[in-house]
Structure 1
Amino acid sequence: MAVTNPPGLDLRRLRDHLDAERPGLVSGDLSADVIAGGRSNLTYAVTDGVRRWVVRRPPLGHVLPTAHDMAREYRVISALAGTDVPVPPTVLLCEDPDVIGARFYVMDFVPGTPYRTSEELRELGAERTRAVVLSMIDTLVDLHAVDPASVGLADFGRPEGFMERQLRRWSKQLAASRSRDLPGIDELHARLAAALPESPEPTIVHGDYRLDNILVDTDDRITAVLDWEMSTLGDPLTDLALVVAYTSRELPADSGVSNVREAPGHPAIDELVARYAERSGRDVSALNWYVGFAFFKLAVILEGIHYRFSQGKTVGEDFDRIGEVVPTLVTGGLKHLAQD
C-alpha cells in the first residue's frame, strides 16, 4: 500500500531511521497528519496503528537565524520530565537534516485538548474555563520555580543582559523578514530600548506561553506544556507578559491568533497577574514594559509567518490574515508603554 507523506515528512525515511535508532519501537507502516494550529514549527501526529507519536521539525522554506532549534526544544522537554511541569516523554532527536530534509525530534503523543478558541471553551462552561485558565497560571509558576541546575539546564542560556539581547535578537529577526512598511514598529523598538528594566532572578522561561500551547484532559487537568522552541534561561516576566498580550483586547478577537478571552468565565488580566504575583512572590510593577515587548516579539513572529505565507512556504490553514494582525500588535505595544 502506498504511503501518503504529509508536506515536509517522508514517512519511509522516518521509519528507517526509527528502526535503526530505536529497534522494535515501530510495529507497522507509519501514517501521519499535520497537527493544525501551529504557526511556526511543523508538528505531525504519527502512528503505526498501535502507538502514536508526535514529530516536530522546522517550517518549510524561509527559516530565521537561531530560530526553530530542535535540539534546544528536545533538551528542555527531556530535562523537565519528573518536575511539576507536565511535558511529553521524549523518544529521539535527529540532528542529521538528510533523514527527512531537516532536523527533527520525536516524542510520545499525549492526549489532551489545546484550547484555541472561545467557542471551544464555551463547551466547558464558565466555571471549568476559569479553572483551566487559572491552572495555566499555576503551571507557569511551577515552571519558574524549577531550579535550572537541578535538571541539568544551568547552561541553557545567558541570563545576564537577557532583555537587551532579546530586544536585539528580535530586531534582527524583523530585519530578516521585513518585506513591507510597518508604521510604528521602529518607534516601539526604540522606546523599549530606552527603558530596559532590571530583570529579577532568572528562571527557565517557555518563550511562547499561552493556552493553546497546553494540553488539557477531560478532567480539566493539564497533561502537557508544548512548543518549547523559544525556551531559555532568562526573565520570567516575559512569559507572564505573553499571557497578558494574548489575553489583551488589543489582539483582535477575529485575528485567527487567539480569542480565548471572549469565553465566559475567562479571568480578567488583573486577576491572572495577581495570581501569578501572589503564588510566585515576584514584583510585577514593571509589567507594562514587558507587555510592550511581548507585542513587539509577537509582531516580529507573525511578520515572519506572513513572509513565509507570501512565498507559499506555509503548511496549514488560516495564514492569509496573519499579516493584517501585525500593525495591531504594534499599536498594542505602544499603548502599554504609554501606561508607564
Structure 2
Amino acid sequence: MCNIDASSSPPKSQRVEFEKVDTPSTIDTPYLERDLRLRFSISTFPIDKREDVRMTYINMGPFQPKLKKNPSTKYGTQNCRFQFSWFSKFPWLEYSISKDKAFCFPCYIFHDKPSKNEAFVVDGVQNWKYVGCEKTCPFAQHEGGHGSSHNDAMLKWSNLKDPSKHIDKRLNAQSSQQILENRLRLKTSIVATKWLAKQACAFRGHDESVNSLNRGNFIELIKLLATMNEEINKVVLENAPKNAQYIAPKIQKELLNIIANKVRHKIREEVGDAKFCIIVDEALDESHKEQMAIILRYVDCDGFIRERFFEIVNVNETKALTLKNEICNVLAQYNLLVENLRGQGYDGASNMAGE
C-alpha cells in the first residue's frame, strides 16, 4: 500500500450522486468516482445525464493526487515510479492510485467511439521508463500532431472550462453587438429624417440605385454622416444587412409618422384646456387626392398667439358634411372639446358653387 497525504485524498463531497442507472451490476449505486479504476464510462449514464456528468468532471478537473511515495514498477534492473512533476508538463494527465497507471482526462470526457487513444481511456499506461524520451515518450506520442483526436478533446475541454466560450454566451454576445449596431443604424436614419423634415426638403431621389451619382436627399445625408463617423460607416447602407438597412421608403414614412405624432401630442399638451380656433383648407395633392389641412390657433401659457399645423386628412369629397365629420373625428381623437372652440375659418368657396 502507498501512503497518501490526507489532503490529497478525494473528499466525499467530490462524489456526485445521480439517479440509479443501468451500469455494471458490480456497483448498485453509481456516482462520479475520482479513481479511474472505479469510474464508469460516460456512455453508461442516461443520455439526459451525460452532459451533467461531463460538466461535473470538468469542474472537478483531472485527478492528480500527490503521494508521499508512488509505487515502483520494475523494468529489468530499474525501478521506475510515476512522477508528480509530469502533471506540470502534461496537465491533461490523470493518475489512478489503485491501478498505478496514467490516463488522459479530456479523452475520457469526450470518448464517444473507439480510437487510437483507447489505452489512455480504458486500460491506462504504465511504461514510466520511456517518459521523457524524445522519440518514445508515451505521453508525447499520445498528444500527436495538429488535428489529432487528443488535441480535439483538449480544445473541447478548454472551451467548456471557459464560460465565455459557451454557445449561450456567444449567442448573447453576438445578439448584444447586433442590437447596438441596429440602434446606431436606426438612430442615423432618425437624425436624417428629422433634419430633412425640419428643412422641408424632399426625401426621395429619381435614381436611388447604388451606382447613382445622386441617390436622393435621405440616402445622400446618411452617406454624409457616414463619412464623418467611422462607427456609423461600419453599420449603414452597403455595410448593413440587406434586410435591416432602414432606408426603404416605407421606413422613411414610418419615421415621419412617428415624429408627426410626437409633434401633435406636444401641440395638444401646449393647448391644454384653453380655448382655441381652427383654420381649415382643402386642396388636391400631386396624386390628385383631396386633402384637408387643419390648423390650430390658440394662446399659449405665456400669452402668445400660436398657429400650429396640426393634421392633414385625406377626404373622398369636399362637401360640407364630409369636412365637418372629419374635423369632429380629429378633435375627438385628441380630446379637443368642441365647447372650447371659439372660432372657425375656412377656405372652401368652391364648395358653395353651383346649387
TM range (shorter): under 0.3
- Report the TM-score when normalising by structure 1: 0.21
Which entry has the higher C-alpha Rg, 1 or 2?
2
User: Relative contact order: is structure 1 or structure 2 higher (C-alpha 8 Å, sep ≥ 6)?
Assistant: 1
- Report the TM-score when normalising by structure 2: 0.21
